[in-house]
Amino acid sequence: MMAVLVALLASLRAAFRTRVALQLEVLALRHQLAVYHRRRPRANIRVADRLLWAWLSRTWASWRDVLVFVQPSTVIAWQRRRFRDHWARLSRRTPGRPATSKAIRRLIRQMSSANPRWGSPRIAAELAKLGIPVAKATVEKYMLRSRKPPSPTWRAFLENHIQDLVSIDFFVVPTVTFKVLFVFVVLSHARRRVIHFNITEHPTAGWTARQLSEAFPWEAAPRFLLRDRDGVYGPAFEDRVESMGIEEAITSPRSPWQNPFVERLIGSIRRECLDHVIVLNEHHLRRLLGEYLEHYHRWRCHRSLAMDCPFPRPVQGPELGQVVEINEAGGLYRHYERRAA
* Domain extents in the chain: 2-81, 103-142, 160-312
From 75-84, 126-135, 156-165, 302-311, the region with the lowest mean pLDDT: 156-165
Per-residue confidence band for 298, with pLDDT thresholds at 50, 70 and 90: very high
CA dihedral 121, 127, 130, 132 (to 10 degrees): -120
Per-residue confidence band for 18, with pLDDT thresholds at 50, 70 and 90: low
- Residue 120's nearest CA partner among 135, 140, 102, 100 is 140
CA dihedral 105, 108, 111, 116 (to 10 degrees): -120
Q: Are strands 247-250 and 224-227 parallel, antiparallel or unpaired?
A: parallel
Per-residue confidence band for 4, with pLDDT thresholds at 50, 70 and 90: very low
Residue 59's pLDDT is 75
249-271: average pLDDT: 93
Q: Are strands 247-250 and 322-328 parallel, antiparallel or unpaired?
A: unpaired
**Higher per-residue confidence, 230 vs 25:** 230
Residue 332's pLDDT is 86
Confidence check: pLDDT of 291 > 50: yes
Residue 37's pLDDT is 60
Confidence check: pLDDT of 339 > 60: yes
Residue 335's pLDDT is 87
Residue 244's pLDDT is 92
Pick the CATH number of 160-312 from 3.40.50.150, 1.20.1250.20, 3.30.420.10, 3.40.50.1820: 3.30.420.10
